[in-house]
Amino acid sequence: MTIFDLLELDFVQSALIAAAVLALVAGVLGPLIVTRKMAFAVHGTSELAFTGGAAALLLGISVGYGSLIGSVAAALLLGLLSRRDSDRDSVIGAILAFGLGMGVLMFALYKGRAVNKLSLLVGQIIGVDSTDVWLLVVASIAVLAVLAFIYRPLFFASVDPDVAIARGVPVRALSIVFALLVGVATALSVQVVGALLVLALMITPAAAAMRVTASPVRATALSVVFAEVAAVGGILLSLQPGLPVSAMVTAVSFVIYLACRGIGAVQRRTA
């Protein structure tokens, strides 16, 4: 089959729509995640998404819902337990270890197909059906709507938290809300690249964008473009040779990051 024949298949079209929606959410959230130094938190959250998905497999319910519940639980734990910045890494490490341990236990108890287990770790967006796409769209709209409502105070608190506190900005509450948004986005991203590679979609495009511009608006726009290219482009590149989607998404994302590092280095020398 040619690439054009593959693009006419319903599951491929669903996969491309899901990837585009996820890339939009990841691209918008990414610069704030990098600014707030939450890359490790995203990884920890993805492990609880993995645990929730494994529990869903065991119970015979939708993996998407299970991952979403696990990510939200992880976000709440991170927000409630890491009251001080000095506690954040240790709390994330504890949650990450717990998530992996429980996920392994769920896998040991699950007697179904091995491919279902593998998809949680490395993603399997080709298996996304129309129900999953609707879940992705609704959850993404909710995340973007809440982010639009809190963006200005959240950005202020991210750039200079001490001054934000002095100005009466509810920094603590905003941190918990943002952690929940990241948790939802992480759960959605697990379906594309899996729990092990979720940073490729949530962090790498934003890190690349912030290498070439200091403007928050331009960084967000570039982050969205880079995430879209990585997610949609990764699927298109994987179709004809039949390669794993997650591998191509992460490869495209990393190539973009390396290119932006080079551009950023040239810009600094020129300046």
pLDDT tens digits along 56-82: 777 877 676 777 788 788 777 777 766
Residue 83 has a pLDDT of 60
**Beta-carbon neighbour count of residue 52 at 10 Å?**
30
Please, what's the b/e burial string for 145-167 (b: 16 or more CB within 10 A of its CB; e: otherwise)?
eebeebeebbbbbbeebeebeee
- CA–CA distance, 89 with 75 (Å, rounded to integer): 14
- CA–CA distance, 93 with 61 (Å, rounded to integer): 28
- Answer yes or no: is pLDDT of 191 > 80: no
If you ran DSSP here, which 8-state letter would residue 195 be given?
A: G
Residue 211 has a pLDDT of 92
Cβ-based neighbours of 108, under 8 Å, separated by 6 or more: none
The ranges assigned to domains in the chain are 3-270
Query: How many percent of the chain have pLDDT more than 70?
Result: 84
Can you give the length of the chain in residues? 271
Residue 168 has a pLDDT of 86
Residue 236 has a pLDDT of 87
Cβ-based neighbours of 16, under 8 Å, separated by 6 or more: 7, 232, 235, 236
Cβ-based neighbours of 136, under 8 Å, separated by 6 or more: 18, 21, 22, 64, 128, 188, 191
- CA–CA distance, 249 with 238 (Å, rounded to integer): 9
- Looking at the structure, give the CATH architecture of the domain made up of residues 3-270: Orthogonal Bundle (1.10)
Listed in sequence order, the DSSP H helices in the chain are: 3-7, 10-35, 39-59, 63-81, 85-109, 114-122, 130-159, 161-166, 171-193, 199-202, 204-212, 216-239, 245-270
**Which residue would you say has higher pLDDT here, 150 or 13?**
150
CA angle 188, 192, 194 (to 5 degrees): 90
Residue 194 has a pLDDT of 66
Residue 122 has a pLDDT of 59
Mean pLDDT computed over 109-117: 62
Mean pLDDT computed over 252-262: 94
Contact assessment for residue 25 and residue 182, using Cβ atoms and an 8 Å cutoff: no
